[in-house]
Structure 1
């Protein structure tokens, strides 16, 4: 039980760390300060953590990483759209 609680707390803290960045990118509609390499590798890594959680049947890993993936998809989408608009 304590292990699961630790997983939930860690998941909440790391997942919601992405929320301010995603909200800022939505609000400003720009992503020039975000590295495409970071965004793509972070998305791939979080997807793999999600898969690992599925294989382990770990609710904290699954839930934290599915929310993080959604936030990263927003960041990645804005980054790709911003990249196309800026010509870089």
Structure 2
């Protein structure tokens, strides 16, 4: 039973971590991010950081790895959202 729980944990972590990749691809493709809530992503980054810390304390590599990937994807969404929102605001001022 314990062997299966490890696989379930890894699969769940991979699915959760990759869930926002389509959002990142859409932002990059359209170069728009008007509907992206930066507040939600900041809270999500804080939560993911907590999971990474928890994984380190538990020495649980699947938790650490999947949440590090999630942190990178979410950080990229924040970076590109800010970039395109700032670009749009600058274009409106012209």
TM over 0.5, yes or no?
A: yes
Q: Which runs of 5+ in 2 are unaligned?
A: 90-94
2:14 is aligned to 12
1:25 is matched with which residue: 6, 24, 27? Answer: 27
TM-score (norm 2): 0.84
Q: CA deviation at 1:25?
A: 1.0
Runs ≥4 residues deviating over 3 A: none
SS where residue 45 of structure 2 aligns?
helix
Query: Aligned pair 1:59/2:61, yes or no?
Result: yes
Greater CA radius of gyration, 1 or 2?
A: 2
Q: Which runs of 5+ in 1 are unaligned?
A: none
RMSD of aligned Cα (Å): 1.5
Matched residues, number: 88
TM-score (norm 1): 0.89
